[in-house]
Amino acid sequence: MKGVVDPGSLPTEAVQILTPDGTIAPDADRAIDLKEEDLREIYRLMVLTRRCDEESTNLQRQGELGVYCPCLGQEAAQIGSAYALEPTDWIFPSYRELGPALLRGIDPADILHMFRGTWHGGTWDFRKHRFAPYCVPVGTQPLHAAGFGIAAKLDRSDVVVIVYFGDGATSEGDFHEGCNFAGVWRAPVVFFCQNNQYAISLPTARQTAAPTIASKALGYGFPGVRVDGNDVLAVHAVTKEAVRRAREGGGPTLIEAMTFRMGPHSTADDPTRYRGAEEVESWKRLDPIHRFAAYLERESLLTGDFVARCAGEADEAAARLREAIVGAGPPPAEQLFEHVYAVRPPVLERQLERLRRLQARGGEG
């Protein structure tokens, strides 16, 4: 009917290249635009991510971290998307993006310092890695990405920015504003939603009445695409398209990667209170690393030697991570007063003096 927009008419199926058993989907309409060494590198990064993630959870269970937010099960969504970027592009994470961080060469210990409580936001060099601090207030960082994208556009730079967030984040007002700003300026932004089916206890169906999260893009005047988030090749392909469009001046894209948080929301969470074992089991069968490994094997790209090397390297990284984190102390208390303002005001000088006196006394006593 004239003037009517019908949510029922929107597509809900996801782009797929690999079926869960690792064969090429019969209706795959995206080519695999990756060289053999890229495919191996993607595999390596996925394995590394899983191993470091597992070690982080262990470290929390052993009391070395206050809390941790695992990304188990989301490796394809994270690595497939970040791999589509140029090293000069910027990444704005939420608090679960271990994969993209590792891809950018960030030392995972620099992430865990935040979860250990030695410093906020992460301790990597944000400019060097072009990777913004971890962002805890849900849904706020899409606006930062929009602003960054607008800046790139105003500066006639060809930098693209990707922002990661969850299904829950799409309910926040800031998410809407971020998409709208980016849309109005046709800014080079890729909005990447990992729809891992839950925002803590709330399933996505209760988060939004929209047929898909991807369909929300229509309201902002740019394309949206739903992709099988456990299919690393499909994720890479759609992100690559979005990045290219952004770089060529075509504006933003909203990608919805359908995946599953296999672990708890955070180590403080008990998921058995809100989801059944069957659901978890059904997603286990869709494991992103197994799927990709099956494909690589079929293509004779995965020798036993390479698999062992990746596993060994991941174990070593996990061991280094453990070594860096166990017992790590915070910086001296002065640091707390150091960067509140560019120039420390007198009131902070006085307070720091008082703190030093108390500490000195504590040391004696």
Partner 1 sequence: MPTITLAQALNEALRHSMRKDPRVIVLGEDVGRLGGVFRITDKLQQEFGEDRVLDTPLAESGIVGASVGLAIYGFKPVAEMQFDGFTYPAFEEIVSHCAKFRSRTRGILPLPIVIRIPYGGGIGAVEHHSESPEAYFAHTAGLKVVSPSNPADAFSLLVESIEDPDPVIFLEPKRRYWIRAEVDLPVANGLPLGRARVAREGTDATIITYGPCVRTAEEAAEEAAADGVSCEVIDLRSLVPLDLETVKASVRKTGRAVVVHEAQVTGGFGAELAARIMEDDFLSLQAPVLRVGGYDIPYPPAKLEDLYLPDLDRVLDAVDAVLNY
Ligand X SMILES: Cc1ncc(C[n+]2csc(CCOP(=O)(O)OP(=O)(O)O)c2C)c(N)n1
Which of 40, 261, 291, 295 is labelled catalytic?
A: 261
The reply on whether position 274 binds partner 1 by CB under 8 A is yes
Q: Does 168 bind ligand X (CB under 6 A)?
A: yes
State which H helix or E strand residue 325 sits in: helix 304-325
Going residue by residue from 87 to 116, which x/- string records binding to ligand X, judged by CB under 6 A? ---------x--------------------
Closest to ligand X by CB, 118 vs 266, is: 266
Which of 149, 166, 183, 229 forms a contact with ligand X (CB under 6 A)?
166
- Tell me the closest approach of the beta carbon of residue 264 to ligand X, in angstroms: 10
The DSSP line for 51-101 is HHHHHHHHHHHTTSSS-----TT-HHHHHHHHTTS-TTSEEE--S--HHHH
Distance between CA atoms of residues 72 and 239, nearest Å? 21
In 3-state terms, the chain is what percent helix, strand and coil (to 5)? 50, 10, 40
Q: Which residues of 1-25 are buried (b: 16+ CB within 10 A; e: fewer)?
A: eeeeeeeeeeeeebbbbbbbebeeb
Is 244 part of the annotated catalytic residue set?
A: no
Q: Is there a catalytic annotation at residue 95?
A: no
216 binds ligand X (CB under 6 A): no
Known catalytic residue at 68 = no
Q: Which does 336 bind (CB under 5 to 8 A by kind): ligand X, partner 1, none?
A: partner 1
Rule CB under 6 A: is residue 144 a binding residue for ligand X? Answer: no
**Residue of 40, 236, 265, 291 with catalytic role:** 265
The structure tokens listed for 70 are 């695992």
* Residue 70 burial (CB count, 10 A): 22
Pick one of ligand X, partner 1, none as the site partner of residue 121 (Cβ within 5 to 8 A by kind): partner 1
Cβ contact 226:258 at 8 Å: yes
The separation between CA 262 and the C-alpha centre of its own chain, rounded to angstroms, equals 15
Residue 41 interacting with partner 1 (CB under 8 A): no
Q: Are 317 and 48 in contact (CB under 8 A)?
A: yes
Residues of the shown chain interacting with ligand X in the complex, contacts defined by CB under 6 A? 96, 136-138, 165-169, 196, 198-200, 261, 265
Positions touching partner 1 (CB under 8 A) are: 66-67, 95, 114-121, 136-139, 168-169, 171-174, 199-202, 206-208, 268-269, 273-274, 329-330, 333, 336-337, 340, 347-348, 351-352, 355, 358-359, 361-362
Report the catalytic residues: 261, 265, 274
